[in-house]
Structure 1
């Protein structure tokens, strides 16, 4: 009696795999888009508050950099939607999924930078102290662990070749 060899993974065509991966990617992007859009919307209002004029020049520069990072993150995280819309029906979905995945990754990096800069600005204004970096560092380390460290560890440990 011969033992049946079980295949690992899914039995799907390249197009079916692209469809599944696209669906997964869009769900992921929705979560990140919501966060970045709320943060970006908040950032856009700060310049119109009376307190903005009283900010130190350095804090105003940090604010401007934060807004630009937020706008860039928003663009990168909305990019996959525009990409999909413009290439739908062109039979390039596997390539579009790879490009959208890269845009999403860049968007996450930009979101990390935006959140770090926003924390820097808020904590500088709130504390007026030199220990702001010590407050931000553990938060950024936590983001890095949650967003990149743990996923990469799982990928390395549990991916079968």
Structure 2
């Protein structure tokens, strides 16, 4: 195997580090656009709940779950929007690869916060809708499903198909 040239930074692509950073930034931005739409819809819905007549009848526990859900939704929005503002604040300073690295980490934090937000919202909605002791089990099952889809499956694919060089 020969020495890689300046445009051959990886075995599968022939791109410079700058081109790789540009590609990864574009991919990350597209991923954040997709997830941000869902987060905005969920957060917008959560903000309206407090103004409904039914809100006044919530138990203190359900109110606490609601407040937690709203705070988690706000934190999720902050992390996901933060990926873009991160880029905006450091753009032009020749820090593209660092920007991509840190914005990717911030997006992952946003995804974890989204998992917590959805969990909390499901818990609140199902507690009110079902009044059943099975609700925590249902929510736990759904959280398990999200964990498989969002984390375990990608980790397994990464482990399974990554080169063992």
Q: TM-score, normalised by structure 1?
A: 0.93
C-alpha displacement at 1:41, in angstroms?
A: 0.4
Residue 113 of structure 1 pairs with residue 133 of structure 2: no
Unaligned runs of 5+ in 2: 1-9
Query: Which shifted more, 110-119 or 137-146?
Result: 137-146
Which is bigger in relative contact order (C-alpha 8 A, separation at least 6)? 1
Counterpart of 2:59?
A: 56
3-state SS, counterpart of residue 133 of structure 2: coil
Distance 2:113 2:127 in 1: 21
Per-residue CA deviation, residues 55-80 of structure 1 (Å, 9 max, x unaligned), is 00000000000000000001101111
3-state SS, counterpart of residue 132 of structure 2: coil
Distance 1:117 1:153 in 2: 27
Distance 1:100 1:41 in 2: 24
3-state SS, counterpart of residue 126 of structure 1: helix
Residue 83 of structure 1 pairs with residue 86 of structure 2: yes
Distance 1:91 1:34 in 2: 30
Counterpart of 2:104?
A: 101
C-alpha displacement at 1:8, in angstroms?
A: 2.3
Residue 132 of structure 1 pairs with residue 135 of structure 2: yes
Per-residue CA deviation, residues 100-125 of structure 1 (Å, 9 max, x unaligned), is 00000000000000000000000001
Distance 2:48 2:67 in 1: 12
The alignment yields a C-alpha RMSD, in angstroms, of: 1.0
Residue 92 of structure 1 pairs with residue 91 of structure 2: no
Distance 1:138 1:35 in 2: 21
Residue 29 of structure 1 pairs with residue 32 of structure 2: yes
Displaced runs of 4 or more, over 2 A:
none
C-alpha displacement at 1:82, in angstroms?
A: 0.6
